[in-house]
Structure 1
């Protein structure tokens, strides 16, 4: 393996990263559209949000399995200690949110007596929890707050990738793309 390949993420990691990134952005836009809609269209739009959330959960679990079985390239050598700590912290929070947000949504749906229709292919049954509309509503509120926090962290992540690519010139975004220059 050449040095550039060792500094770049594997093809599988790239596929998971970009599939999840696109799905998260689309799911955010679906949630925004649902919030602006009136019933019954609102429920139909949220059905897609819920199904895509479950798909994001499955993709994230696949990405974690991939990460545990494939080497991750080291962070660039020129990062300040605080940048390396911030990068690792944000990535950990990403995984927590990528798992926690779909599970929280599923839990809240379960507590409010709703199944999750997976794009008309099959129905995901409620989790085996008791009905509690008030707690379910509170979990939906935390889900929305978590989604907002996630958006800010995504912005920070993108800004960091752009900084490392265009100012530090250490490969930045090209570490997660199959093209571009990644310095040795």
Structure 2
């Protein structure tokens, strides 16, 4: 019998998970607001926050990966089917690819447009040294938007999976990533 703490993620992992999760949802809403802004100046100002938060998500994700490599991940519940374990691992890998790839893609597309990223007025991140190419920037921004939509679908599936494990399978599900609640043996 393993103690509950060994079946939960570490406190650091929980903090990274929930801060990144909230930041991703907020950033999605910021992008939606920018898309619906009527005045060009409003759209540019709103997207500036989206870009800055995207870079912050990138930094947090790199911190989370460093944390994950130095702190053990709890084992999956013993009643997890093989296909569920494979699916969970695959989705987590895709999450990391998107959490790193979307901000880098956005930075790259901005760089192709010759724009720096203003980090909430504190400092700026210069464009990557790639030269300007507005057509390539447009294409990459399109891929960035498609990746964001795919990310939202995966997030919804992730949440549904956690709820299924919590309330149907009753094997701890979401409580593995929270400091409270029952995580059965």
CA shift, 1:44, in A, is 0.2
TM-score by length of 1: 0.98
1:38-79 superposed Cα distances (whole Å, 9 cap, x missing partner): 211000000000000000000000000000000000111111
Structure 1: runs of 5 or more not aligned: none
What SS is found at the alignment partner of 1:40? Answer: helix
Q: Distance in 2 between matches of 1:77 and 1:107?
A: 43
The structure 1 segments of at least 4 consecutive aligned residues displaced by more than 2 Å after TM superposition are none
Q: Distance in 2 between matches of 1:117 and 1:144?
A: 20
Structure 2: runs of 5 or more not aligned: none
Q: Distance in 1 between matches of 2:133 and 2:93?
A: 31
Q: Does 1:56 align with 2:50?
A: no
Matched pairs, number: 183
What SS is found at the alignment partner of 1:123? Answer: strand
Q: Distance in 2 between matches of 1:137 and 1:25?
A: 24
Counterpart of 2:73 in structure 1 is 72
What SS is found at the alignment partner of 2:95? Answer: helix
Give the superposed CA RMSD.
0.6
Give the alignment of 1:108-147 within 5 angstroms. 108-147=109-148
CA shift, 1:31, in A, is 0.1
1:78-131 superposed Cα distances (whole Å, 9 cap, x missing partner): 111111100000000000000000000000000011110000000000011111
Q: Does 1:24 align with 2:20?
A: no
TM-score by length of 2: 0.98
CA shift, 1:139, in A, is 0.3
Q: Distance in 1 between matches of 2:41 and 2:105?
A: 23
